[in-house]
Structure 1
Amino acid sequence: MTLDLLITGGTVVDGTGADGVRADVAVADGVIVAVGGVAAEAEAARVIDAAGKVVCPGFVDLHTHSDLTLLSAPEARSAVHQGVTTTVIGNCGLGVAPLPAGANVAAVRAAVGYLDLDPSVDWDWTSWSEYADTLAAARPSVNVAGLVGHLPLHAGVVGFEDRPAAERDLAAMAYLLAEALDAGAVGLSTGLMYAPLTFAGRAELVALAEVVADHDALFAWHLRDYGDDVLPAVQEALDVAAATGVRTQLSHLTAVGRRNWGSVAKALELIDTARDEGLDVAVDMYPYLAGNAPLSQRLPAWAQAGGEDAMRARLADADVVARIREAWSGQAVGWDEITVNSAPGAPEVVGWTVTELAASSGTDADTIAVDLIARFGNAVSMVAGGRDGGDLRAVLSHPASVIGSDGQALDLTGPTAEGNPHPRSYGTYARLLSEYVADGTLTLPEAIRKCTSGAAHRAGITDRGTITAGQAADIVILDAGRLADRATFADPRRYPAGVDTVIVNGEPTAGQGDHTGARAGHVLRAGTRDKGQRP
């Protein structure tokens, strides 16, 4: 047997949830060809001694926002250095394709400003297939599977105003969605806290879910609320699942605000009931007690109607601001729990809570928040706390949960190096596999399953996620004793310790803080390797 790569002497934790076993792993032509005692009879162009290390599948990050950053930073350093070999983009409804002919691309781009870290990226696509071709041409270091974002569908067809979709609008969105799924998108995501999706009603959600169900694809939900109304928001998603039979993923399930702690357990009970009734419902989460989103998400839906320009102009109206202040008076998460982590061209506000910025300016926190949104629109983002560790552990340990970082593929230099990103973009997997294994929340094999085959299964990816013969050779070698998340909220751009080697499609790509320069990732159309694209 002549091999491209042979990994010897490691403890293989194969991604199925089974305990680790000592085994060699043989790779040829980007595929695992044998697992077991193969070293004695094999010749390999390269041999890696993994004695004392854990050999596991590359991590499949089910929930990311790297739609545009992969075009600016295709080496995907923040992702690959933590062991991610496949990333699923298009989450929370914030995709960048498809767009109907004549759509206002600039307005859609502003609406998804959270994704848009590099103004030099030229949006020269309209269809999802054209966008996927653009990604493939960028030659990323990781594999990429894509969800269709609900926002470009809705904004491109219905617009940004608060109005229900007409029958012709539903038909147009359904057509665009079906076309994208036929071209290889792995599902649809919605984000019902992001305007104009805040105005999407049940008829629209059901109509799109039916298209997704017809393609046996995944419908991922950023729920309508994660605070006081998290349970009705969960029930809304479950009702659509029941009406259509669509495979459903509840994204980053949490409950924010101390008064809502404990709601996650009730949400999981609702999910368990739905699963017992035969619905295919699962959840994902990342192992941090703070989230990251545009600051504009704090505004009432009515204040965001009409698109970013209308929203920013509206904030100059004193009567409007008074109504916003009234809405904010009972918010579950206080301004002292919200830190500005990105504001283009204004580094002086980054890293401070809204309360701290107000104190230093001699004004109040509501005024600061309104001013920031008026100045920067959807591009100013926040890290928001107010979460409970018990809720987090309940989700991480639930049998229906998998892991998604909710991060972005970033670099240490260039356009994606601006601001102060959430540390999840650098440390999610090391944090889970060290801290939440050490405290007994998960065993190492189960934690790895949630990061690999479990996540791949949710996205419909069939050829990755386990260390078995015939699977794509996406492999991570971990020094489990050294494994640690070194990224912090104050200093987030730090690679984890203990990630020794990351292999993508048989190509050693990163490890121990170094990137080989390999860019062997595929664009996974319809989630399968045979439909992958690599120029």
Structure 2
Amino acid sequence: MEPYSTLLIQGGTVLDGTGAAGVVADVLIRGGRIAAIGPDLRADATAFDASGRIVCPGFVDLHTHSDLTLLSGPQARSKVHQGVTTEVVGNCGLGVAPLPAGADRDGIRLAVSYLDLDPAIAWSWTDLPGYLAALTAARPSVNVAALVGHVPLHAGVCGFDDRPATPAELERMCGLLADALGAGALGLSTGLVYPPLTYAREEELVALARVVAAAGAVFTWHVRSYDDGLLDSVAQAVRVARATGCRTQISHLAAVGRRNWGAVRGALDLVDAANADGIEVGVDIYPYVHGNAPLSQLLPAWALEGGAAAWAPRLRDPAVRARVKAAWVDRPTGWDELTVSWTSRGDGDPVVGRTLEDLGGADATLDLLAELGAGAMMTAGGRSEDDLRTVLAHPAAVVASDGLALDPGGVTGAGVPHPRSYGCFPRYLHRYATDLPDAVRRCTSEPARRIGLAHLGVLRPGAPADVVVFDPATIADTATFTAPHQLATGIDLVLVGGVPTVHGGRHTGRRAGRVLHRTRGATG
């Protein structure tokens, strides 16, 4: 499809992203923005017949890990083909900036290896503006905004040891965070299961949250535990929100391990109580009962001290292995529920796609971690469909993929990653949406509002023309856990800034995404 400056989308059912009922109308797009919405519009424009289709805002994915994959594969095929037009990176604390003077850059890169699928990407930046400039130069197909990752912030100042930050270190972290927020970051994200954040004390979280609150930004949380410690972990996030007034988002809320099923209801009660008291706390979730994480997340916090370059060799020590195995005796998930999804050994690694039970359980897992360190990932089960539906239906919940922008034909198309990177939003709309206008709202205007980009996620005159046209009868995910690199179906047209990016199920090659800034709108 050729680029154009004016487009008339005719005869579709318009869901404007606010949750309002759909209306059959035309949508006129001119100069990258919505010019008009109404019946029987007339204009000298390229026409697109949307009869029988839904016309809605592009999906705003507020929880992604595309920080580096958008540099490697800027066409963002796995995401834009499912209707995503805006991605927020820097989640779970696993950002790539800032990298302050004196930071262990190699250690930080290992610590965020979950993001790092292409070793050819050079980390040429030292701060958030430098990273955003690299994104702008890559010209991604989707809009991109960034959170400040707590891992580079803490590791860059405090290192990887189990100790509290000193007052001087806290002051330095707060200053670096304030600088990044001033440069346009949407907020801060933490991930308290990822070293060295496993060692971050609550005083540090409160101090950083005060900086976020002062900027009117958002603090997103991968909480300390999603299994036996879920309620205590959510309580900590809520406690920090109450202490600081910081707008808070709890990421991918789920309860892991059969013995913890139902605990999401207690977590949501804590969220409800905070909101009733005027403290804004939201949650997000993806529509799957399996998660995805670094294999190293299985290790107890004490085993991860010093960074991957230090902890991986330690796992060859028989005494260390015995201590780890003792900690694993009462695991909430079984080895049969954990599958190796990717390793740094590349395509063809025979362990990829096999369960840890099949590979030999605890000893085989320790062998893999000792050899590969941070270079192995897993998909993990042990979740409840009932819990998933409970969270999806909750008023505070929005939909987010927790996935990556992947290129099925490129270097990021290796392994058997979680299918959410390809199918999150179509799967939700196809399998879980009982009220389609509200479901679209949870994928568009509400996540945009949560992250401080309220000008996105709506169809109204003057708004950016980030638009999806889909067939409600055929929209679906096709990616599976055994064959994940499969594009979604039912998406007829995706516009990013008014530019046709997906048309008729094919990527047009156009890359019109912008790098978005919380305080300055958008550039790039």
Structure 2 counterpart of 1:445, which letter?
Answer: P
Q: Runs of 5+ in structure 1 lacking a partner? A: 359-364
CA distance in 1, matches of 2:201, 2:462: 44
The CA deviation string for residues 6-52 of structure 1, in whole angstroms up to 9 with x for no partner, is 1010000111011110011111111101111252x3111x2111011
In structure 1, distance between residues paired with 2:500 and 2:423: 20
**SS of alignment partner, residue 349 of structure 1:** coil
Aligned counterpart, 1:355: 357
- Give the residue type in structure 1 aligned to 2:183: A
User: Counterpart of 1:196?
Assistant: 196
Instruction: Provide the C-alpha distance between the structure 2 equivalents of 1:223 and 1:3, rounded to a whole number of angstroms.
Output: 45
- Specify the alignment match of 2:73 in structure 1: 73
The partner residue of 2:446 within 450, 454, 457 is 454
The residue type paired with residue 467 of structure 2 is I
Task: Confirm or deny: 8 A CA contact 1:430 1:483 kept in the other structure.
Answer: yes
Aligned mate of 2:494, from 494, 502, 506: 502
Stretches (4+) displaced over 4 A:
none
Contact 1:81 1:511 in 2 (8 A): no
* Aligned residue-pair number: 519
| Further displaced range: 414-423 or 254-263 | 414-423
Choose the corresponding residue for 2:386, options 369, 384, 390: 390
| 1:195 aligned partner, one-letter code | P
Given residue 187 of structure 1, which amino acid in structure 2 is its aligned partner?
G
Q: For residue 318 of structure 1, what is the aligned residue in structure 2?
A: 318
Deviation string, structure 1 residues 175-215 (Cα, Å, up to 9, x no partner): 10000000000000000000000000111000000000000
Q: Secondary structure at the match of 1:420?
A: coil
| 1:251 has 2:251 as partner | yes
Instruction: Determine which of 361, 368, 371 is the counterpart of 2:364.
Output: 368
- Note the C-alpha offset of 1:115: 0.3
Q: Distance in 2 between matches of 1:121 and 1:404?
A: 26
Match of 2:522 in 1: 532
Per-residue Cα deviation, 1:242-263 (whole angstroms, up to 9, x for no partner) = 0000000000000000000000
- Which one of the candidate residues 419, 423, 429 is aligned to 1:427? 423
Letter in 2 for 1:517: G
Aligned ranges for residues 479-490 of structure 1 at < 5 Å? Answer: 479-490=471-482
- Alignment partner of 1:24 is 2:26: yes
Q: Distance in 1 between matches of 2:127 and 2:344?
A: 29
Which residue is 1:362 aligned to?
A: none
What SS does the corresponding residue of 2:16 show, helix, strand or coil?
coil
Show CA shifts across 1:308-344 (max 9, x none): 0111111011101100000000110111100000012
- Of 444, 459, 476, the residue aligned with 2:436 is 444
Task: Please list, as runs of the form range in 1=range in 2, the aligned pairs for 1:301-316 lying within 5 A after superposition.
Answer: 301-316=301-316
Paired residues of 2:493 and 2:505 also in contact (CA < 8 A): no
The corresponding residue for 1:216 is: 216
Output the CA distance in 2 between the equivalents of 1:48 and 1:513: 15
5+ residue gaps, structure 2, are none
Distance 2:109 2:181 in 1: 22
Deviation track 1:419-468 (CA, whole Å, cap 9, x = no partner) reads 1110000000110000112xxxx311111000000110111102210111
- The alpha-carbon deviation at position 412 of structure 1 amounts to 1.2
Letter in 1 for 2:376: V
Q: Which amino acid is the alignment partner of residue 172 of structure 1?
A: R
Q: Work out whether residues 341 and 350 of structure 1, in 8 Å CA contact, stay in contact via their aligned partners in 2.
A: yes
TM-score normalised per structure 2 = 0.98
| Alpha-carbon contact 2:5-2:32 (below 8 Å) kept | no
Work out the CA distance in 1 between the residues paired with 2:5 and 2:181: 36
> Do the aligned partners of 1:54 and 1:480 also contact (CA within 8 Å) in 2?
yes
DSSP 3-state at the match of 2:388: helix
* 1:519 corresponds to which of 507, 511, 516: 511
Alignment of 1:146-165 (within 5 A): 146-165=146-165
Q: 2:483 aligns with which of 487, 491, 494?
A: 491
Amino acid at match of 2:378: M
Hey, what's the Cα distance between the residues in 1 that align with 2:485 and 2:503?
Answer: 16
Task: State the alpha-carbon separation in 2 of the partners of residues 338 and 158 from structure 1.
Answer: 32
Structure 1 Cα separation of the partners of residues 85 and 375 of structure 2: 28
Aligned to 1:106: 106
Please tell me whether the aligned partners of residues 64 and 87 of structure 1 are also in contact (alpha carbons under 8 angstroms).
Answer: yes
Give, in whole Å, the separation in 2 of the partners of 1:26 and 1:483: 24
Output the aligned Cα RMSD: 1.0
* 3-state DSSP of counterpart to 2:265: helix
- Does the CA contact (< 8 Å) of 1:3 and 1:43 recur in 2? no
- Asked if the contact 2:82/2:425 (under 8 Å) is kept, the reply is yes
Partners of 1:520 and 1:220 in 2: CA distance: 27
CA distance in 1 between counterparts of 2:54 and 2:172 reads 49
Pair 1:274 & 2:264 matched = no
Q: Structure 1 vs Structure 2: percent identity of aligned residues? A: 56
Matched, 1:381 2:377: yes
Conserved? CA contact 2:220–2:249, under 8 Å = yes
SS in 1 for 2:374: helix
Could you say what secondary structure the match of 1:283 adopts? strand
